[in-house]
Amino acid sequence: MTAVSGALTALFAPSRDAHGRAYGPDLLRAAAILLVMAWHMPGPARPEPLAAIRPFGWLGVDVFFVLSGYLIGAQLLKGIAGGHGVDFRRFWASRAFRILPAFLAVLALYFTLPDFSDGKAIQPLWRFLTFTMNFGLDYRVTGAFTSAWSLCVEEHFYWLLPPLVLVLTRWRGAGPALALGAAVILGGMALRWAIWHGPVADPATRPADFLRLIYYPTWTRLDGLAMGVLLAAARVFRPAAVARFAPPRLTGPLGLIAAAGTVVLCIRHADGVSLDLAGAVVVYPLACLAATLLLCALLDIEPALRRLPLAPVTFVATLAYSLYLVHKPVQHMLRERLGDGVLHGWTGLGAYLAADFTAAILLWLLVERPFLRLRDRVLRRPLPAVVEEPMKRAA
């Protein structure tokens, strides 16, 4: 087992060892991508256990948003706390090396290989290159590569957060940051409530209008990013308070309770990814709160996690971005070639997973990892890893 773990670590380490890995975020990242893949898995290849999980698979994207908010927020805020300010060019260059190569490689496949697709039509290339394809997105008209909508939200977040952080640091105290975070979360709830009373309230137009007006746009999906940044700010600037008032014995159970509440709300208020009014207002922030609380707990028990054989989790987490980009078109192509008669039950599930992971490994080895290593050379030093020791209890 040790030899296998060492081989996986050597093969899939992102770049230099200085990056390190935190098992807590990796656990959530691996769970998130597996949830998303379960959501998109073709129906005939869903054994009973997977069929029970599948209705909640779309929530994996919200887990990704919380992770991104925390990791990106902590990276920027640690620079502020260390007196280094915000290096805009370095930050944006790092994000470009991380996100663009694999995205552009997959985008090129969509536009050059007719069979590489997961829908009948695709939006114009410029919408993808400008990360605006999530605005007014109607999957009935342009249903190919719709999963790029979440990358658009992430890109908008990367552009907006550094200036906001710089502005907020000019005020003393946590008040302005807390007020802005609360405004984003509560404002998102209010905005979804208002939008839902428009065309999306008509059952005849759901779920397409729900996705177009509420699910895809950036301004309605900032809950997780905001909560992740607030968690990062608390752990960077108020570690003693977090250790005292949010220990893992509290945040862990509360996170599980919030996750269970999210599942119950989805059962009662969701029709697939389409939510009714109560669900549209409450489900997203509750799901993101669950992920935030669980992340906080996992960060505090990092040494215990490091004693566990979690190399397979790290393997899945490392491939998460590549898996997110390729799993839908790969599944679609495999289904077109072999059909549901072959890709049925556990056999079909195994075939889909094997194809997904094979494609993701190739994308990682040929594109992602080389550009991460190039990033380190161009920026001269690796970016600091957001790996924490458990916070000491306040005296």
Mean pLDDT of 43-56: 89
pLDDT one-digit tens code per residue, 278-308:
999 999 999 999 999 999 999 999 999 999 9
**375, 60 in Cβ contact below 8 A?**
no
pLDDT for the residue 171: 82
Q: At 275, give phi and psi (nearest 5°).
A: -110, 150
Q: Residue 302, exposed/middle/buried by CB under 10 A (0-12, 13-18, 19+)?
A: middle
Mean pLDDT of 175-181: 91
pLDDT range class, residue 48, cuts 50, 70, 90: confident
Show the DSSP H helices in the chain as ranges: 2-12, 23-40, 48-53, 60-81, 88-112, 125-129, 149-168, 175-196, 208-210, 223-237, 239-245, 248-269, 277-300, 302-306, 311-318, 320-338, 345-363, 369-379
Q: Is the pLDDT of residue 6 over 90?
A: no
* Cα radius of gyration rounded to whole Å, the chain: 21
Q: Is the pLDDT of residue 14 over 50?
A: no
What's the rounded Cα separation, in Å, for the pair 131 and 121? 18
Longest dimension (CA), the chain: 64
Residue 106, C-beta contacts closer than 8 angstroms, at least 6 positions apart: 145, 325, 326, 329, 363
Q: Is the pLDDT of residue 272 over 60?
A: yes
pLDDT for the residue 386: 56
Q: Which residue has the higher pLDDT, 198 or 242?
A: 242
pLDDT range class, residue 203, cuts 50, 70, 90: confident
pLDDT for the residue 380: 78
pLDDT one-digit tens code per residue, 212-251:
999 999 999 999 999 999 999 999 999 999 999 999 999 9
Cis peptide before 370 (omega within 30 of 0): no
DSSP three-state, residue 195: helix
pLDDT range class, residue 20, cuts 50, 70, 90: low
How open is the CA angle 154-275-155, to the nearest 5 degrees?
Answer: 5
DSSP three-state, residue 120: coil
pLDDT range class, residue 394, cuts 50, 70, 90: very low
CA separation, residue 271 to residues 77, 212, 213, 267, 302 (Å): 39, 16, 16, 8, 37
pLDDT for the residue 129: 97
Which is nearest to 207 in space by CA: 117, 144, 160, 137? 137
Mean pLDDT of 176-181: 92
Secondary structure element (H or E) that encloses residue 274, with its range: strand 274-275
Residue 312, C-beta contacts closer than 8 angstroms, at least 6 positions apart: 8
Mean pLDDT of 46-75: 93
Q: Is the pLDDT of residue 173 over 90?
A: no
pLDDT range class, residue 314, cuts 50, 70, 90: very high
What's the rounded Cα separation, in Å, for the pair 20 and 7? 16
Residues forming a β-bridge with 275: 270
pTM of the model: 0.91
Query: First CA to last CA across the chain, in angstroms?
Result: 40
What's the rounded Cα separation, in Å, for the pair 215 and 207? 10
Q: Mean pLDDT across the chain, nearest whole number?
A: 90
Which is nearest to 32 in space by CA: 321, 250, 345? 321
pLDDT for the residue 228: 97
Q: Is the pLDDT of residue 145 over 80?
A: yes
Mean pLDDT of 170-187: 90
Q: Is the pLDDT of residue 98 over 90?
A: yes
What's the rounded Cα separation, in Å, for the pair 142 and 121? 5
What's the rounded Cα separation, in Å, for the pair 256 and 174? 28
